[in-house]
Structure 1
Amino acid sequence: MAALCLLGSNVPSLIFKSLAALATIWVGQVLYQGLTARIRIRTMAARGMPVPKPHSLFLGHLPLMKKLREGLPKDAHDTYAQRRLISNWAEYFPNLEKCPPLIYLDLWPFLSYPLIYATSPEACYQMTQEKAQPRHGMFTWAIYPVTGGKDLISMDIPDHRVWRARLNPGFSSRNLASQVPLMIEEVDTFVQQLRGKAGKNHEYGEIFPLYERTVNLTFDIIMRTAIDLRVNEQLAGPGPILKAMRQLITHVKAENLKSRLERMMPAYKKDVARNESTIRDILLPHLKSHLGKDTDPNSPKTVIDLALKELKNESRNANVQLEESFFDVVLSHLKLFILAGHDTTAQAMCWVFYELYSKPEVLKNIRAELDDVLGPDSKLALSQQPHKLNSLQYTTAIIKETLRLHPLGATHRRGSPEFNIVYEGTVYPTSNALINTSPTAIHLRSDLWPRVNEFIPERFIVPEGHVLHPMKNAWRAFELGNTRCIGEELAMMEMKLVLALAVRDFDMEFDWVGWNKLQNRTPPPDMVDGQYMYRVGNGIGTVKDKLPTRIRIR
């Protein structure tokens, strides 16, 4: 009995010692991982791999990343650090005579593996086109709250090929052209909404956030083109699907210690489950009822219509019974399309408007093209002849140049011991690395793009051989290869329609100073590179203050 009492009095001490031992082991493992990561990068640098200086044996490249963010607003997106790294590459690679094709970074403990920025078109070509490498799990992890890991981005390459083949017909140029009339309906609503924000007697109206309008527009369009569901966000929103999606998007973040801890919290799990249920309860019944209908063979087909047709062709059974797992995957794809198809396109529209209305000569030129190609009534011309969108070369060039300077997408590929990048005779290993084919880096290389910081739409019009003509594979706003963005054609079509119907009717100006006053902010507005307009947040991010805008009717 006395022995038991003695043991009982020592229990707290034994527990404490056990926990201390476990903590010591854990700390030792963490330190070992960190030291291994640092030594690996040092070894690669010694072998001549492009590792930027300075690199700290204790902190790796964390001080460098801090330096790259110096002077940036706290809310500035991480891509601005990439911009600075690539724009000032000579400072960080003093022994090189030209910008390296790849950049190796050591960001442990925020990343447990090396990060490789692919900065050359050739390097990106090798990993996305010549020998497509699987996407890294980081992106899958980031969008998991929205799609549950059953979407095109998260699938392995064999499953991706199957579903890509099923979904491609819905996003083809031919099918989207048949949907131009319904897109025009939504764009016309957008234009009328802008008209309501204009002042009287050709004066500028009150400030409003343009981004909110572009989000509602792109959401309405993707819902109609993908699933034939008219949600009327522009007139009656915000509706439950959009509110649920916007909330889920707040959880789309890069994987790091903070975000991993967030996803362990009950509040996160409850929020995701609630919003996912909201979307599912609305979309699933609509999807099932819609798939059971016989559609007019001459009517426009949604993405899901054509995906079902492909599935029936595969099974050679017109009455194929669809399992619940099929609907789970379709819903995941729909949520991916909604995520990528409304938010990034809405941001891109804001950047296009910002660049266009900041460049009087460019604005003059696009208006002249619209007069020449579409005549006085863009809506009528495109409703009757949708193919005329293809003749808007300068309009298309404006969008491409905007996305060159302000790319919103990136792809993350998984390195492996079996895959090396070979550039000008040098072999660059990728084993156990995250490879980022960031357009931010490639689009801002002065050796690839003459007058790199200038807004020159003509570079996408001039013939091959002209000094401004883009190098092959250098423009990667939607990526390239078999896994390029499936919604590229839809996004480009939406933006061209918006410009065609809006820019001849309105003048715009952007007013952060006035917006700050309305918000009772006393400090002056933040700036990046002398501009009030910049990308904020992390992950997908958004535009600063949702682009405060004034409009007047011409």
Structure 2
Amino acid sequence: MKWLVDNCNQWIPDLKRPPPVLYLDIWPVFPDVMMMVFDGSMSAQFTQARSLPKHHITRTFLEPLTDNLDMTSADGSQSKVWRSRFNPSFSPRNITMLIPELIDEIMVFKDLLGKMAGPSGQWGDVFQLEERTTSLTFDVILRATMDERLHEQINAQGSPLKQALISQIRLMSKVLGVNRILGIKRWPWEAWTRQRNNEALRKALLGRVEAIIKSPHLADAVSEKKTILNIALSRTLAETGGETPDQRSVDAILANLKLFLFAGHDTTSSTICWMFKLLQDNPNCLAKLREELNSVLGEDVTQAASLLRDSPQLLNNLVYTNGVVKEALRFYPLASTVRQGERDFFLAVSGSDMRYPTEGTAIHDVPSVIQLDEHVWPRANEFLPERWIAAQGDPMHPNKDAWRPFSMGPRNCIGQELAMVEIKLVAALVCREFDIQEAWDKWDMKQGSMKPKETVDGQRLYGCGQTVQHPKDGMPVHVRRLYA
């Protein structure tokens, strides 16, 4: 989509700027006309002013993982019920209470980086950063969800839970392609793999859920620890008059837990990589980040973790760090929403009589274009965390509808607070102790000189892969310790 916008003068030469909406028909690869929206105020019309139903491709995509019992692919009452039951779990207050547990997992990540660093402040060997961040985010999301320590970061083989989820994601990613062209929803031989994966996921997650449900003191069990699961179960009990959840409710809880595992690890792990990439490319911003961390957390970097454990609210004082994370998500939004157009619903551009019909379309909110629009964002292509500190009325103050990495409106990403806190903690605990830089020369030597060296816009590191923008080749990096 961004390529189309960047090259729009080739196919509409009389346009001075990209159009706010582009209709694209790629049938039979995609079933409906794609209506791509490149204007944040127009995106707000179908996500906020009126929240249109999710497009059926969302249901098709998530069905192998959740059987469409999750809050994202569902619409109507089912979505509202489970959204209301899980919402309190992801509140800023509750996520703040989970910060000590999140720090436990991030310290494992930091210690492993230390082992990859070279001796005496030298650069270490090359490794794929995304492998490390993916294992980290698996550990974090399971800790936050169920207070279980997966220890994925120190498990070389990968847990059955992670193996099953990764395999299932590969199946989910086959929504489009040859099978779509042939009119086949899923290949028959994928049914066995799907069943095997779901059995493994259910086995890994069900035990904890059933242990709580079957507790003789169920109400006490769910209030003992404010995990995402416990709070959702507590809300379920309150709404059902204290009755033990029935099988369908248990299945819906498991479906949403699987959704959180998928969304929570896939997007956040990549965002952490892109954040380090942008800090590497903007050393002045890295220096300002370190200055703020010294000011708020003290200059003794070894005390930062214990200080944040004791006073989690200090994370709110890291305003520049917050800006770094938001700028990383502005440059690399990893997900977007697709809604189902309706006969009576039209999009409009402010100040114009033009109305864009939505009937029969899949309406795509396109943050990868909206968030780099030079007509909305001053110095749009510059990494400027300061813009997130600018006061209202300042030309640099962000437009309220133009930052959309988690979507907006009643169907926005429920886990955005957890994601933001996790990424800020990584920045706070890692960036003062280590330099992390791309190491393509070392990677090329490791892979062999015959391997193609593809670039996009002159960059070896670019987004590619399934489901979200994963960094190319897992982002090969090397690390050096700043404080020997």
Partner of 2:29: 110
State which of 310, 324, 334 in structure 1 corresponds to 2:235.
310
- After superposition, residues 345-360 of structure 1 pair within 5 angstroms as 345-360=268-283
User: Which deviations, in whole Å up to 9, do the C-alpha atoms of 1:38-89 show, x marking residues without a partner?
Assistant: xxxxxxxxxxxxxxxxxxxxxxxxxxxxxxxxxxxxxxxxxxxx22222343
User: Does the CA contact (< 8 Å) of 1:143 and 1:253 recur in 2?
Assistant: no
- After superposition, residues 58-207 of structure 1 pair within 5 angstroms as 82-207=1-126
Q: 1:435: Cα distance to partner?
A: 0.4
Q: 1:99: Cα distance to partner?
A: 3.2
CA distance in 1, matches of 2:145, 2:389: 32
State which of 267, 274, 280 in structure 1 corresponds to 2:189.
267
State which of 476, 500, 516 in structure 1 corresponds to 2:404.
476
**Structure 1 residues 417 and 296, CA gap change in structure 2 (3 angstroms):** closer
Say yes or no: does 1:369 pair with 2:295: no
User: Which deviations, in whole Å up to 9, do the C-alpha atoms of 1:448-482 show, x marking residues without a partner?
Assistant: 11222211111111112222221221000111101
- After superposition, residues 314-329 of structure 1 pair within 5 angstroms as 314-315=239-240, 317-318=241-242, 320-329=243-252
Q: 1:431: Cα distance to partner?
A: 0.4
Residue identity matched to 1:330 = I
Partner of 2:474: 546
Partner of 2:148: 229
User: Which deviations, in whole Å up to 9, do the C-alpha atoms of 1:323-378 show, x marking residues without a partner?
Assistant: 11111111110110000001110001000011112211011000000001111221
Partner of 1:11: none
- After superposition, residues 208-247 of structure 1 pair within 5 angstroms as 208-237=127-156, 238-247=158-167
Partner SS state of residue 104, structure 1:
strand
Partner of 2:173: 253
User: Which deviations, in whole Å up to 9, do the C-alpha atoms of 1:232-258 show, x marking residues without a partner?
Assistant: 111235110001101111122263351
User: Does the CA contact (< 8 Å) of 1:513 and 1:524 recur in 2?
Assistant: no
User: Which deviations, in whole Å up to 9, do the C-alpha atoms of 1:296-328 show, x marking residues without a partner?
Assistant: 78854111111111112212x23x021111111
CA distance in 2, matches of 1:474, 1:217: 30
User: Does the CA contact (< 8 Å) of 1:139 and 1:254 recur in 2?
Assistant: no
Partner of 2:359: 431
User: Does the CA contact (< 8 Å) of 1:254 and 1:539 recur in 2?
Assistant: no
Structure 1 stretch displaced more, 105-114 or 276-285? 105-114
CA distance in 2, matches of 1:307, 1:269: 31
**Structure 1 residues 437 and 297, CA gap change in structure 2 (3 angstroms):** closer
**Structure 1 residues 100 and 218, CA gap change in structure 2 (3 angstroms):** same
User: Does the CA contact (< 8 Å) of 1:516 and 1:524 recur in 2?
Assistant: no
Partner of 1:393: 319
Partner SS state of residue 462, structure 1:
coil
Residue identity matched to 2:166 = R
Q: 1:425: Cα distance to partner?
A: 2.6
**Structure 1 residues 102 and 171, CA gap change in structure 2 (3 angstroms):** same
Residue identity matched to 2:272 = M
Residue ranges of structure 1 left out of the alignment (5+ in a row)? 1-81
Let me know the Cα RMSD of the aligned residues.
1.8
User: Does the CA contact (< 8 Å) of 1:263 and 1:269 recur in 2?
Assistant: no
- After superposition, residues 467-546 of structure 1 pair within 5 angstroms as 467-546=395-474
Aligned residues: 471
Structure 1 stretch displaced more, 463-472 or 134-143? 463-472
Partner of 2:213: 291
Partner SS state of residue 121, structure 2:
coil
Partner of 1:22: none
Partner SS state of residue 479, structure 2:
strand
CA distance in 1, matches of 2:377, 2:90: 30
User: Which deviations, in whole Å up to 9, do the C-alpha atoms of 1:489-539 show, x marking residues without a partner?
Assistant: 000000011111100001112112321221124145211111111111233
Say yes or no: does 1:344 pair with 2:237: no
User: Does the CA contact (< 8 Å) of 1:175 and 1:300 recur in 2?
Assistant: no
Which one has the largest radius of gyration?
1
**Structure 1 residues 254 and 340, CA gap change in structure 2 (3 angstroms):** same
State which of 438, 459, 466 in structure 1 corresponds to 2:387.
459
Partner SS state of residue 110, structure 1:
coil
Partner SS state of residue 22, structure 2:
strand
User: Which deviations, in whole Å up to 9, do the C-alpha atoms of 1:233-290 show, x marking residues without a partner?
Assistant: 1123511000110111112226335144675433311111111111112211221103
CA distance in 2, matches of 1:425, 1:458: 37
User: Does the CA contact (< 8 Å) of 1:347 and 1:542 recur in 2?
Assistant: yes
CA distance in 2, matches of 1:225, 1:267: 35
Structure 1 stretch displaced more, 288-297 or 348-357? 288-297
CA distance in 2, matches of 1:471, 1:405: 15
Q: Answer 1 or 2: higher relative contact order, Cα 8 Å, separation at least 6.
A: 2
Residue identity matched to 1:443 = Q
Residue ranges of structure 2 left out of the alignment (5+ in a row)? none
Partner of 1:379: 305
CA distance in 2, matches of 1:254, 1:356: 34
CA distance in 1, matches of 2:404, 2:37: 12
Normalised by the length of structure 2, the TM-score is 0.93
Identity %: 35
User: Does the CA contact (< 8 Å) of 1:291 and 1:305 recur in 2?
Assistant: no
Residue identity matched to 1:506 = F
CA distance in 1, matches of 2:222, 2:29: 53
Residue identity matched to 1:327 = V
CA distance in 2, matches of 1:481, 1:502: 33
CA distance in 1, matches of 2:466, 2:203: 29
